[in-house]
Amino acid sequence: MSDPRVVVIAKVVVKPEKLATFEPAWAEFMAGVKTEPNCIYFNVAVSQDRLTYWMYEEYKNQTGLDEHESSDHYRKWNVTAGGASFFAEAPDVTKTWKPYF
């Protein structure tokens, strides 16, 4: 049987002038993700200047990812991030990874 887990890898680059409003909105979004029952792992690495963020998300299966993407906190984050124009470049998101272990 193949491993049903789904991994999302993402990178975002924040505009320096948006950092002060990005970080509280991002913290609120992450708090919501951590409550999702099908999210196995969610972690973020950040550059020293706090402008580049790399995310690693792991879900039990595709249904878990679908639930994540239809959650209230996900929809709110997308509206907030889009309206605030946080990013210096388009986010780089890949949803086709599988865990190695």
The yes-or-no verdict on residue 83 having pLDDT over 80 is no
| Residue-level pLDDT at 98 | 85
| Residue-level pLDDT at 25 | 94
pTM here? Answer: 0.88
- Rounded distance, CA 24 to CA 5, Å? 29
Beta strands in the chain (DSSP E): 6-13, 39-46, 52-59, 92-97
Domain ranges within the chain, ordered by starting residue: 6-97
The CATH class, in words, for 6-97 is: alpha beta
Mean pLDDT of 34-50: 96
Q: 84: which residues sit within 8 A by CB, 6+ positions away?
A: 18, 21, 22, 25
Strands 6-13 and 52-59, bridge-based pairing: antiparallel
Question: Residue 16 corresponds to which tokens in the numbers above?
Answer: 């320096």
